[in-house]
Every structure is written in C-alpha cells, then in structure tokens.
C-alpha cells in the first residue's frame, strides 16, 4: 500500500464466495443458498457504501490458480454459468476491493489482514456462503484478532437450513458476534471508533 491509497474505513462489509459459477461438488445447493440471500446482500452493499463502509469481496479461486479476479468475474457472468444472475446482481464496482483465497478463511494466505490494517478497519460485517464453512472460518479468524463481528443473519446461508442455524448459534454464543437482521443495522454509526473486544 505504501500510503498510495488514502481510503479509511472503521467498518467493512465482507462478501464471501458469492462470485462463482457454482460448478463444484454441492454447487447446486450452494447456488440455491446464494440465490436466497443475493438481493439482501446487494441491498446491504448499497446502504453500506452510502454510509462510507469499505466493501471487500473475498472469493474462492476455482480451477488453476491465476490470481485474476477480472477473468473470474467474466467467467461467472457467462450466459451458461449457473451463477450469472447472482454475479450480475453483485458485480464488484471499481471502488470495491476484491481478492482470492485458497481455503475457507478470508485471512488464510491472502492480503486481507494487511488491507484491513491499511484501512484502519476494526468492525466486520460478514455476508455470503457458506454460513457454516467460509463465513464461520473467517469469523473465527477475525475473532482471535479482536475484530468486532456483525452478522446480518439474512445475508448468510448454507446448503441446508440446519447449517445456517448451527453457524448463527456458534457465531453468537461462542464468538460473541452481533447477529441481527440486515435492515436493523444503523450503518451510519458503524464507522465510529470501536472498543476492542477481550
């Protein structure tokens, strides 16, 4: 970063694994889960950007590793892609951040933590799929780094309702995340200074 980007945001909206062609084992079930929440995530994103939050996409890298987010987006927008409708709705904008991850957590082997440090971000709103895997793993890694966690409960989903119910309970009871409907969030207040969690 070297001070070249002036962006600052105490809070960030993180969109996990919604840019996909969903061509993988269990892909159709994950695609249905993503379809259920896509409109709410898109609405939350527009509200978050108006409130000055950073928007960060962190996504699985399918197939051969190329670290090419633009090619991934175009591939997922192809007419025959099962994920095209979702990706069109949530297509990243030039002011958004986008990075690829090799495993479940956004923190693992990515520049995610460096970016958050540069932005001065201490509060994360996690959205996306799958609730009991990538969302939960990312939340766990955020928790041990003392980030404040907010989970808009209608903006995360898994292939089965039980997956999401399990994840939301764990996020709330074990990680101390604030789990709440997206419409109840007062986003204009989230860029205020945070109090570090113990």
- Which of 48, 189, 52 has its CA nearest to residue 127? 48
Q: Which two tokens stand for residue 75?
A: 């591939």
In a domain, 95, yes or no: yes
Residue pLDDT tens, the chain, 198 long: 444 455 899 999 999 999 999 999 999 999 999 999 999 999 999 999 999 999 999 999 876 666 678 888 998 999 899 999 999 999 999 999 999 999 999 999 999 999 999 999 999 999 999 999 999 999 999 999 999 999 999 999 999 999 999 999 999 999 999 999 999 999 989 987 654 443
How many C-beta atoms surround the C-beta of residue 121 within 10 A? 24
Q: How high is the pLDDT of residue 63? A: 65
CATH number at residue 17: 3.40.50.850
Tell me how far apart the alpha carbons of residues 166 and 132 are, in angstroms, rounded to a whole number: 7
In a domain, 198, yes or no: no
Q: How high is the pLDDT of residue 159? A: 96
Tell me how far apart the alpha carbons of residues 97 and 7 are, in angstroms, rounded to a whole number: 11
In a domain, 6, yes or no: no
In a domain, 54, yes or no: yes
Q: How high is the pLDDT of residue 79? A: 86
In a domain, 5, yes or no: no
Cα pseudo-dihedral 99, 183, 175, 167, rounded to 10: -80
Q: How high is the pLDDT of residue 197? A: 44
14 touches 53 (CB < 8 A): no
In a domain, 111, yes or no: yes
Q: How high is the pLDDT of residue 157? A: 98
In a domain, 29, yes or no: yes
Q: How high is the pLDDT of residue 150? A: 98
Number of domains in the chain: 1
In a domain, 3, yes or no: no
Q: What residues make up the domain containing 21?
A: 11-189
């Amino acid at each position: 970063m070297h001070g070249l980007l002036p962006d600052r945001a105490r809070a960030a909206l993180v969109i996990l694994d919604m840019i996909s062609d969903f061509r993988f084992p269990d892909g159709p079930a994950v695609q249905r889960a993503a379809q259920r929440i896509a409109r709410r995530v898109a609405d939350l994103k527009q509200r978050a950007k108006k409130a000055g939050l950073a928007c960060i996409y962190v996504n699985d890298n399918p197939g051969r590793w190329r670290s090419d987010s633009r090619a991934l987006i175009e591939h997922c927008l192809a007419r025959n892609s099962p994920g095209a409708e979702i990706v069109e709705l949530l297509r990243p904008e030039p002011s958004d951040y986008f990075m690829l991850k090799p495993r479940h957590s956004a923190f693992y082997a990515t520049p995610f933590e460096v970016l958050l440090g540069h932005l001065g971000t201490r509060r994360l709103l996690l959205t996306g799929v799958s609730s009991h895997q990538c969302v939960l793993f990312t939340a766990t890694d955020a928790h041990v780094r003392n980030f404040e966690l907010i989970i808009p409960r209608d903006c995360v989903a898994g292939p089965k309702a039980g997956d999401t119910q399990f994840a939301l309970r764990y996020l709330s009871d074990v990680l101390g995340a604030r789990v709440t409907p997206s419409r109840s969030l007062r986003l204009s207040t989230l860029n205020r200074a945070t109090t570090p969690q113990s």
